[in-house]
Amino acid sequence: MLIGLTGTPGTGKTSVSKFLESKRHWKVIHLNEMIKEEHLYTEIDEERDAVIADMELVSQHLEEIIGGRENDVIILESHLAHYITDIVIVLRLYPPELKMRLESRGYSEEKIRENIEAEALDVILIEAFEWCKKVFEINTTGKSIEETGQHIEKIIDCILSDSEEELSEYRPGSIDWIDLVP
């Protein structure tokens, strides 16, 4: 079962996916790394310090990796995961806290502003609704990697046991930071 773990850069996707990979031994594909390492992009955007993924090549490469493992839990970690998976968990973070994280990573002011606005406007959550059959969201604000990991485990375990009625707290719509948009 391929499950996307997505969210604005800085919300905790990579850290929590590494935690889950270690704790639960779930296969995690770090999509952004794969795209760069395997040259699955069409161009490099120097101005935005990003690569433009070739989603067709990405999908083909993922099919090669995942083929025959449809019953295993495989987490696809990336701010692009919702374009590929049918089930996605969107990590959310209070924009002022996100700003501090991105500053500590050395992001440019423009890139910080772009990501904070995207988080406040629910950009990835809205895209997830457009692309995915099942969408869940977790507010990671003030939560440790372990706490966030426990929430993700609960979602995945409930999906696997066909008890999604227990997941009402993760249904999108309770997080609203629109008032923080400049």
Domain boundaries along the sequence of the chain: 2-173
With a threshold of 0.85, does the pTM exceed it? yes
Cβ neighbours for 136, distance < 8 A, ≥ 6 positions apart: 88, 89, 90, 155, 167, 170, 171, 172
What's domain 2-173's superfamily in CATH?
A: P-loop containing nucleotide triphosphate hydrolases (3.40.50.300)
Element (H, E) at 90: strand 87-92
Say which range, 124-138, 146-160, 165-179, has the weakest mean pLDDT.
165-179
Would the CA dihedral through 68, 69, 70, 76 be positive or negative? Answer: negative
Residue whose structure tokens are 């008032």: 179
DSSP assigned state of 26: -
Encode pLDDT of 101-150 as tens digits.
999 999 999 999 999 999 999 999 999 999 999 999 999 999 999 999 99
Please say whether the beta carbons of 2 and 89 come within 8 A.
no
Q: What is the C-alpha to C-alpha distance for residues 119 and 127, in angstroms, rounded to an integer?
A: 12
Longest alpha-carbon distance in the chain: 47
Residue-averaged pLDDT of the chain? 93
